[in-house]
Structure 1
Amino acid sequence: MNRPTDSKSQALVMALACALLGACSTVEDAPKGDAAYAAIPPAPAVGVDYRISPDDILRIQIYHEPGLSLEDAQVTAAGMVRMPLVGDVSIAGLSASEASDVIAGRLGDRYLVSPQVTVFVKKAVGRRITVDGEVREPGLFPLDGRLGLQQAVALAKGPTRLASLSRIVVVRQSDGQRKAAMFDLGAIRKGQAPDPEILPGDTIIVGLSRAKAILGGALLALPAVGAGFVALDGGF
């Protein structure tokens, strides 16, 4: 009895997996158009303050108190920053202005009269995105504030000359699953489509062929996936 070829064996495994999942497809079937934007919304027109994350580097200035000011204060893994006089102050998840108010409140409780505090995020180390595929300089990039897909690709020095701009895959971890959606960067650049917001932890892959290679041919499980996303069954 002849053994099935490797390709036939792989096809059989995929077919069985699809039968168990209920429905499967490849990365080509990541939602597009309105379905993609339902999953990853356009970036807002008006920016919202960046939320401080662990490992961020801050400049904290206390007006008229240079001895209490900090030039390179790193937020701990627990989301704290250590200040002179008052010790650890919890600021993770706050905007810079909110953190300023919290630190001013701690200092004003016992040590200073109406302290004026300014917090500036020098380096948003705790929030990163990955840009890969047909770009000039793929890699990990810090996410400072809010960012659209077009700006995210620009962080990697833009697409290569032969990049496929109509098939940009955004992969996001959500509800314990990796989910993917596909966007047309050319249409976004021309103002013909909204620019989706990119979140910390997102992976942007320029070009469908590169997305398929990077994702390793992972199956996409279609059932029970909301908001127009497809969930990647398997790792990168």
Structure 2
Amino acid sequence: MRKMLRLTFVIAIFILTLPQLCFSQSPPQSYLIGNGDILEIVTWKEPDFSREEIIVRLDGNISFPLLDDVMAAGKTPTQLKLDIQAGLKEFVAEPHVTVTVRSAASKRFYILGEVVNTGEYPLTKNLTVLQAFTLAGGFTEWASKKEIILFRRNQGKETVIRIDYKDIVKGKDFSQNVEIKADDTIVVP
């Protein structure tokens, strides 16, 4: 019986988010590298200037041979590539660098309270609040689905977004099915 309820919950979430997925897709944004991300940097025909795993430190820098500290956080992989190529021109005639994000560890969100699996989750794609609840295994029987709070930090300011799950599911207010951003915290009382 419990498995059937969970399957029904997952199907309902999919059906409810399908219109949003089909009609309200925003254009993809360039990924910004963050603290904790793991990068692979390959310099063509220069194995001494290639690294399989470089972690972006808490200060936003990476350590790279002969260049010392290079600021990576807040840049796209293409911007970082250009910075490394410019720095390597002193040592390599025509450096061709590729920067790949191997693990986007800096992009996480959190779910607390009355969900089956509280915790930290990777933000590996565009997710909505309903999809986040699915990742967390759904609600416990004590969850207050009308008083969910999403805390979002944007440019140093804390924003509170109130979510009424029942209004979303009943089709009354799909605008509450907001897209999750990095470092969002969802609290289900």
The question of a shared fold, defined as TM-score above 0.5 by the shorter chain, is answered with yes
Structure 2 distance, partners of 1:175, 1:96, is 22
Note the C-alpha offset of 1:191: 11
**Structure 2 unaligned runs (5+)?**
1-23
2:141 is equivalent to residue 159 of structure 1: no
Structure 2 distance, partners of 1:111, 1:46, is 38
Note the C-alpha offset of 1:144: 3.9
- Point out which structure has higher relative CO (alpha carbons under 8 A, 6+ apart): 1
Note the C-alpha offset of 1:80: 1.0
Compare CA radii of gyration and give the structure with the larger one.
Answer: 1
Count, aligned residues? 163
Structure 2 distance, partners of 1:141, 1:147, is 11
Report the counterpart of residue 46 of structure 2 in structure 1.
65
Give the % identical residues. Answer: 31
Structure 1 distance, partners of 2:106, 2:98, is 20
2:63 is equivalent to residue 78 of structure 1: no
Structure 1 distance, partners of 2:144, 2:154, is 26
Report the counterpart of residue 202 of structure 1 in structure 2.
184
* 1:62–1:69 CA contact under 8 A, matched in 2: yes
2:30 is equivalent to residue 49 of structure 1: yes
Query: TM-score normalised to the size of structure 1?
Result: 0.57
Report the CA distance shift for 1:76/1:83 in structure 2 as closer, same or farther (over 3 A).
Answer: same
Report the counterpart of residue 20 of structure 1 in structure 2.
none
Write out the 4+ residue segments of structure 1 that deviate beyond 6 Å after TM superposition.
188-192
**Structure 1 unaligned runs (5+)?**
1-42, 211-236
Letter in 2 for 1:129: F
Structure 2 distance, partners of 1:189, 1:71, is 48
Q: Report matched runs for 1:62-211 at 5 Å.
A: 62-107=43-88, 109-144=89-124, 146-156=126-136, 158-160=137-139, 162=141, 165=145, 167-173=147-153, 178-185=158-165, 187=168, 193-194=174-175, 195-206=177-188, 210=189
Structure 1 distance, partners of 2:138, 2:98, is 38
CA RMSD of aligned residues (A): 3.1
